[in-house]
Chains A and B, each alone.
Chain A
Amino acid sequence: MFTDPSQVADALTAVGYLPDLGVATAAYLAIGMRRPLFLEGDPGVGKTALASALAQITDSELIRLQCYEGIDVSQALYDWNFPRQILHLRAAGDSTADTADTTKLEASLYQREFLIAGPVLRALESSGRAVLLIDEIDRADDEFEAFLLEMLADDAVTIPELGTIRAQVPPLVVLTSNRTREVHDALKRRCLYHWVEHPDLEREVDIIRRRVPGAAAAIARQVALVVRRLRELGLVKPPGVAESIDWTQALLMVGADRLDGPAATATLGAAVKYREDELRVRREVLPDLEALLSQ
Chain B
Amino acid sequence: MNAPPVNASPANPAAESAIVTLLAGFARALRADGVAADQGRVAACLTALALVDPADADAVYWAARVTLCSEPDDFARFDPVFAAWFLGRAAAPNRQQPPARKAALLTPGAARPHAADDDADPADGEPLAAAAADAEVLRHRDVTELSPAERAEVNQMIALLKPRMARRRSARHAPGDGRRLDVARTVRAMLRDGGEPGHLVRQRRREKTRRLVLLLDISGSMSPYAEVLIRFAHAAVRAAPQTTEVFTVSTRLTRVTRPLRLRDPDLALQAAGTAVPDWSGGTRLGESLQAFLDRWGQRGTARGAVVVIASDGWERGDAALLGEQMRRLSYLARRVVWINPHRGKAGYAPITAGMIAALPAIDDLVAGHTVDALTQVADLIARA
Interface set of A (CB-CB < 8 Å, partner B):
1, 3-5, 21-22, 25-26, 28-29, 31-35, 38, 40, 58, 68-70, 72, 74, 79-80, 82, 85-86, 89-90, 93, 102, 106, 109, 128, 138-139, 141-143, 169-170, 178-182, 185, 188-190, 192-195, 234, 236-237
Determine whether the beta carbon of B48 is less than 8 Å from that of A180: no
Compute how far the CA of A38 lies from the CA of B244 in the bound complex, rounded to whole angstroms: 23
Given contacts A70-B170, A70-B171, contact A29 B63 (CB under 8 A): yes
Contact between A169 and B44, CB atoms less than 8 A apart: no
Contact partners of A189 in chain B: CB under 8 A: 38, 40-41, 70
Give B36's nearest chain A residue, CB to CB.
A185
Known: A33-B47, A139-B300. 18 other contacts (CB 8 A): A4-B52, A21-B58, A22-B62, A25-B52, A25-B59, A38-B70, A68-B171, A80-B187, A82-B187, A89-B191, A93-B195, A128-B2, A141-B208, A178-B300, A179-B299, A180-B300, A182-B257, A194-B65
CB distance from B170 to the nearest CB of A (A): 7
22 pairs from A and B in contact (CB 8 Å cutoff): A1-B1, A21-B62, A25-B52, A25-B63, A26-B62, A29-B51, A29-B52, A32-B51, A33-B47, A35-B44, A72-B172, A74-B184, A93-B194, A102-B194, A109-B191, A128-B1, A169-B2, A180-B299, A189-B38, A189-B40, A195-B72, A234-B290
Query: Which among A21, A141, A193 is the interface contact of B170 at CB below 8 angstroms?
Result: A141
**Which chain A residue lies CB-closest to B64?**
A25
Q: Are A236 and B328 in contact (CB under 8 A)?
A: yes
Q: What B residues does A31 contact at CB under 8 A?
A: 1
Q: Using Cβ atoms and an 8 Å threshold, which residues of chain A touch B211?
A: 181
Chain A: interface secondary structure?
Answer: mixed
| B7 contacts partner chain A, Cβ-Cβ < 8 Å | yes
Residue B192 CB within 8 A of the other chain: yes
Answer yes or no: B283 CB below 8 A from chain A CBs.
no
Collect the chain A residues with CB atoms within 8 Å of residue B1's CB.
1, 31, 58, 128, 169
User: In angstroms, how far is the closest chain B Cβ from the Cβ of A188?
Assistant: 5
Q: Which of B70, B257, B290 contacts A185 (CB 8 A)?
A: B70
- Give the total of B residues in contact with A, Cβ under 8 Å: 52
Question: Please, which residues of chain B bring their CB within 8 A of the CB of A139?
Answer: 300
Q: Residue among A25, A74, A82 with the most chain B CB within 10 A?
A: A25
Inter-chain contacts of B72 with A (CB < 8 A): 40, 195
Whether A194 and B66, one on each chain, are in contact in the complex, defined by CB atoms closer than 8 angstroms, is: yes
**A106 contacts which chain B residues (CB < 8 A)?**
191-192
CB distance from B128 to the nearest CB of A (A): 45
- Nearest to B7 among chain A residues (CB) is A3
Contact status A33-B53, CB under 8 Å: no
CB contacts (< 8 Å) of A58 on chain B: these are: 1
Task: Give B329-359 interface residues, CB cut-off 8 Å to A.
Answer: none
A86 touching B195, Cβ below 8 Å: yes
Known: A192-B66, A193-B70. A34 touches B4 (CB 8 A): yes
User: Residues of A contacting B69 with CB < 8 Å?
Assistant: 193
B242 close to chain A: CB less than 8 A: yes
Judge whether B376 is part of the interface by a CB distance below 8 angstroms: no
CB-CB under 8 A from B7, the residues of chain A are: 3
- Bound state CA distance, A25 and B59, in angstroms? 7
Of residues 297 to 352 in B, which have CB atoms within 8 Å of A's CB atoms?
A: 298-301, 303, 328
Nearest B-chain residue to A188, judged by Cβ: B70
Chain A residues with CB below 8 A from B65, complex form:
22, 194
Contact between A138 and B300, CB atoms less than 8 A apart: yes
A29 to chain B, nearest CB (A): 5
CB distance from A118 to the nearest CB of B (A): 14
Measured between beta carbons, the chain A residues less than 8 angstroms from B58 are 21, 25
A33–B299 Cα distance when bound, in Å, is 31
- Quick one: closest A residue to B195, CB to CB? A89
B48 touches A33 (CB 8 A): yes
Q: Determine which residue in B66, B71, B72 has the highest number of CB atoms from chain A within 10 A of its CB, and name it.
A: B66
- Structural contact, A32 and B192, CB atoms closer than 8 A: no
Closest to A169 in B: B2
Do B4 and A33 have beta carbons less than 8 Å apart? yes
